Amino acid sequence: MNASGRRLAIAAIATLVALPRTASAHVGSPDVFLDAQAGPYRVLVTVRPPRVIPGVAGVEILTSSTDVREVRIVPMPLTGPGAQFAPAPDLATRSRDDPKLFTGQLWMMTAGAWQVRVAVDGSRGSGTVAVPVPTLPQATLDMSPTLRALLSGLMVLLCAGLVSIIAALGREAGLAAGETPGPRARRRGRIAGAIATLVVVAVVALGNWWWTAEASSYARYVYKPLDVSTAVMPDGRLTLAVRDPGWIPLRRTDDFVADHGHLMHLFIVSPALDRFWHLHPDETGNGAFEQRLPNVPRGEYELFVDVVHSTGISETVTGRFAASEILGSALTGDDSAWSEPSSGVTSGVGMDAAPLPDHGRMVWVRDSRPLTVGQLTMFTFRVDDAAGRPATDLELYMGMPGHAIFVSRDRRVFAHVHPSGSAPMAAMQIGERSLRGAARAPEQDHTHRGDSLPAVVSFPFGLPARGDYRIFVQVKRSGRIDTGAFDARVE
């Protein structure tokens, strides 16, 4: 560090380009997982939105009790008049192997903020829960080479058949039975064949033009995440400018709503995932945000920015910045930081314990079953105090017993999950408001209020792909934010 570096901050600047990743509510993790109460029944819901819209979403509902008679599911817009008038719901099918598991499939017709209403009926009455599901077209599906070859062959056969039929008509339609076509008839046939060929070629060319136009208008419809550009100011401020690269449904950068108390949640990680910050920038203008950075060592960093639009659509914006050493300000409020302890992070069944600053530890409570791709799993963690007993000083951290951040080693997957699931709180609240409007259901309380919180927090989530992940689990204890880090592998 040079002399001027001793000042409050010598931050050099770095610009940043948003990384070309498919993003949605999370990055690389479009499935929605929810742990909720549908009236008297606890349900674990998984919704797998289609990659292509219109498309079919897979829905799985795992109930906790055997007295559930039936489960009905229906897709509806999250907001607007459509959120009040549910079409006839579909009956979910009870699994033959597990009577507590119900599955179904739903057509999602347009891109945007949707919800899946899950209505549970059983011997203890009925209950409904709204699962916010953003449907963002992620890709254009490719036709398989075999199907392409088969269809091309059939098209050539069909065209050739049509031409030869018309040529034969021109040649032989005017002849008496048994008469052999003479030179004039053959000439008529050739003319008819030539005209038919021209018409067929024109029809195929028009079809191709129409198909290409449809495909390019769909390509514009494919979701494009927001961009963010960043700069580190000499006084240690990080500025973020969120920009809309253009996407078909009207999207704004001035309609963000607070999600657990903050308009923006900013996660900064080092590429090795040995440093982690969870910060909350302030809005300074349309799409403009600013964060006073804490102490940040020289290096390259990646950032994940969580925002929720007033429509209920949440987005995670990705970016990066580079900085020389920043001697920033102390962390305040809900902001928190973590860096890997010198002993490293040890993970593996039976040895998942992360040290905490008060000499307590956070333990990943898991069985020996391996993690599987996309499978809803309860990630459960227990906080022990310095004496090794379950901690009794847990408090709500931003309204929730805990926050878990799942990041893949290659940073292509990022998800911010709560004990209630992977849907953002702000979207859940919009869903519940629409539910109350329809069924006058009582407001649900996600913030487990009370004097003492249990020492155990669970997060329903499914890791979306094979690979190595780091899980950051954050809880608040006696006014301090504790972070435990764990490594996980999906084979």
Instruction: Choose one: 120-128, 144-152, 234-242, 397-405; the region binding Cu ion (CB under 5 A).
Output: 397-405
Nearest approach in angstroms of CB 260 to Cu ion is 6
The residue (of 102 and 338) whose beta carbon lies closer to Cu ion is 338
Q: Is 403 in the site for Cu ion (CB under 5 A)?
A: yes
CB closest to Cu ion, residue no: 403
The residue (of 32 and 323) whose beta carbon lies closer to Cu ion is 32
Nearest approach in angstroms of CB 259 to Cu ion is 8
Task: Round to whole Å and give the CA distance between 74 and 463.
Answer: 25
Q: Cα dist. 271→296, 407, 490 in Å?
A: 14, 11, 20
Instruction: Choose one: 91-99, 345-353, 383-391, 396-404; the region binding Cu ion (CB under 5 A).
Output: 396-404
The residue (of 309 and 403) whose beta carbon lies closer to Cu ion is 403
**Which residue matches tokens 């008529």?**
188
Cβ–Cβ < 8 Å for 102, 118:
no
Q: What are the DSSP E strand ranges found in 440-479?
A: 456-461, 467-477
Nearest approach in angstroms of CB 382 to Cu ion is 19
| Burial (CB count within 10 angstroms: exposed 0-12, middle 13-18, buried 19+), residue 427 | buried
**Touching Cu ion, residues 454-473 (CB under 5 A):** none
What single-letter amino acid sits at 288?
A: A
Instruction: Choose one: 84-92, 189-197, 200-208, 398-406; the region binding Cu ion (CB under 5 A).
Output: 398-406
Task: Say how many residues touch Cu ion, by CB under 5 A.
Answer: 1
Task: Round to whole Å and give the CA distance between 228 and 117.
Answer: 34
Instruction: Choose one: 119-127, 145-153, 170-178, 395-403; the region binding Cu ion (CB under 5 A).
Output: 395-403
Instruction: Choose one: 70-78, 159-167, 381-389, 403-411; the region binding Cu ion (CB under 5 A).
Output: 403-411
Q: Cα-atom radius of gyration of the chain, to the nearest Å? A: 29
| Helix 183-221 / helix 145-172 crossing angle, nearest 10 deg | 150
The residue (of 280 and 403) whose beta carbon lies closer to Cu ion is 403
Would you give the DSSP letter of residue 61? E
321-339 core/surface letters (b: 16 or more CB in 10 A; e: else): bbbbbbbbbebeebbbbbe
Nearest approach in angstroms of CB 277 to Cu ion is 14
The residue (of 102 and 379) whose beta carbon lies closer to Cu ion is 379
Task: Round to whole Å and give the CA distance between 481 and 456.
Answer: 15
Nearest approach in angstroms of CB 462 to Cu ion is 18
**Touching Cu ion, residues 25-64 (CB under 5 A):** none
Q: Which residues in this chain contact Cu ion in the complex, by CB under 5 A?
A: 403
